[in-house]
């Protein structure tokens, strides 16, 4: 039995950054029957009422069972089941624990997944979501008032209380990510909050990202390229910024998807059955919509997970035959 049975993806970001939407699409690509999703918000110490009474924040690691979270990631990574706590965001209270069995892929999403080295060492792929701040606030207002029972005044009060704590504990985690994803509104379109948002992916060299230069160079011949690539320095890192326009056409988005799939299937042809019919779906209220930048982001992350899985399989097979 291999030491690392499951491939772990960590998705971290502030409240309403889009973590659940991103992870749902990745699970769809990989096959939901092959994916276990764990939300680290379930490891809060206090329910909503207790946090209000004490003036504490769920964003503070001290108000979460970080040690239990670390133990559980270690267990599922090695193929063991866990009895995971459950926090209900709609009621703001805890529910009976849930029996979780790890599958081939595990997506861990939440606020504090990269807070310390004991957590970070378990992930094969680490993604931080950092959407435009005004956009995140709009998403939070809409989600918390329609799905979590908050009034708009309560959402504003929560945002005011969380600002300093978020800066202290959430934002610094992006320095540990392999990929930082920022969705932002196109210039002059302040009302755009969904399908036509632009995406910027900061790709750090901690992962072997696919070579997209052929596709990007082909697009640069156009007056307004839908995909651009630039190299920038961030501290000790040289990283590639990949910008995907929210106005990218169905044809161009399809070419991008096909480009990534060809590179994956050239090495691992058995992955063909994983291709979903539609990528980038999300709910805007009760209405289903689609975003090409979201789809391409999900596909690129899923690509890394599939590569990690096949590399693990190859290494195990070589070890067994040695």
Give Cα separations from 216 to 200, 201, 221, 242 (angstroms): 14, 14, 9, 10
Residue from 83, 127, 92 nearest 107 by CA: 127
Query: Mean pLDDT across the stretch 185-205?
Result: 93
Beta strands 7-13 and 287-290 are unpaired
Separation between Cα atoms, residue 314 and residue 172, nearest integer Å: 35
* Residue from 223, 184, 219 nearest 201 by CA: 184
Residue 135 and residue 20: Cα distance in Å, rounded? 16
26 domain residue, yes or no: yes
Residue 191 lies in a domain: yes
Contact 276, 295 (CB under 8 A): no
CB < 8 Å & 24+ apart, contacts of 206-209? 206/178, 207/125, 207/178, 207/179, 207/304, 208/307, 209/240, 209/300, 209/304
User: Whole-angstrom Cα distance, residue 38 to residue 87?
Assistant: 12
Inform me whether the pLDDT recorded for 8 exceeds 80.
yes
pLDDT of residue 224: 77
Q: What is the DSSP letter of 239?
A: E
Is the residue at 226 inside a domain?
Answer: yes
Give per-residue pLDDT as tens, 226-276. Answer: 999 999 887 787 899 999 999 999 998 988 888 888 887 777 776 666 666
| 3-class DSSP state of 79 | coil
pTM of the model: 0.92
Identify the pLDDT of residue 211: 86
Q: Give the pLDDT band (50/70/90) at residue 1.
A: very low
Q: Which residue has the higher pLDDT, 236 or 169?
A: 169
Residue of 98 and 268 predicted with greater confidence? 98
pLDDT reported for residue 291: 94
Domain of residue 157, residue span: 7-321
Closest by CA position to 204, among listed 223, 230, 180, 229: 180
Q: What is the CATH number of the domain that holds 119?
A: 3.40.50.300
Predicted pLDDT at 223 = 66
Say if 1 falls within a structural domain.
no
Backbone phi, psi, residue 28, to 5°: -65, -40
pLDDT of residue 272: 62
For the chain, how many structural domains are there in total?
Answer: 1
CA 118 to chain centre: 19
Q: For residue 2, tell me if it sits in a domain.
A: no
Average pLDDT of the chain to the nearest whole number: 89
Which pairing describes strands 105-110 and 35-39: parallel, antiparallel, or unpaired? parallel
Is 161 inside any structural domain? yes
């Amino acid at each position: 039995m291999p030491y690392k049975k499951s491939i772990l993806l960590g998705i971290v970001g502030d409240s309403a950054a889009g973590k659940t939407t991103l992870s749902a699409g990745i699970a769809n690509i990989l096959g939901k029957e092959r994916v276990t999703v764990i939300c680290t918000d379930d490891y809060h110490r206090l329910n909503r009422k207790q946090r209000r009474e004490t003036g504490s924040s769920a964003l503070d690691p001290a108000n979460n069972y970080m040690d239990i979270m670390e133990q559980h990631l270690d267990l599922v990574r090695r193929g063991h089941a866990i009895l995971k706590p459950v926090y209900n965001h709609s009621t703001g209270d805890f529910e009976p624990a849930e029996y979780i069995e790890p599958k081939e892929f595990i997506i861990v999403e939440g606020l504090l997944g990269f807070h310390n080295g004991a957590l970070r060492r378990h992930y094969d792929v680490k993604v931080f979501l950092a959407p435009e701040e005004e956009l995140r606030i709009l998403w939070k207002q809409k989600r918390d008032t329609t799905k979590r029972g908050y009034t708009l005044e309560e959402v504003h009060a929560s945002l005011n209380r969380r600002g300093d704590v978020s800066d202290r504990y959430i934002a610094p985690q992006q320095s540990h990510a392999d990929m930082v994803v920022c969705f932002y509104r196109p210039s002059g379109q302040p009302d755009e909050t969904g399908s036509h948002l632009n995406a910027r992916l900061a790709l750090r060299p901690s992962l072997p990202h696919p070579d997209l230069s052929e596709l990007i160079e082909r697009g640069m011949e156009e007056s307004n390229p839908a995909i651009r690539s630039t190299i920038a320095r961030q501290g000790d890192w040289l990283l590639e910024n990949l910008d995907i326009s929210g106005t990218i056409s169905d044809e161009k988005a399809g070419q991008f998807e096909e480009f990534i799939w060809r590179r994956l299937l050239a090495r691992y042809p058995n992955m063909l059955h994983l291709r979903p019919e539609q990528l980038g779906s999300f709910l805007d209220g009760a209405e289903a919509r689609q975003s090409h930048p979201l789809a391409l982001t999900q596909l690129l992350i899923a690509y890394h997970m599939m590569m990690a899985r096949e590399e693990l399989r190859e290494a195990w097979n070589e070890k067994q035959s040695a």
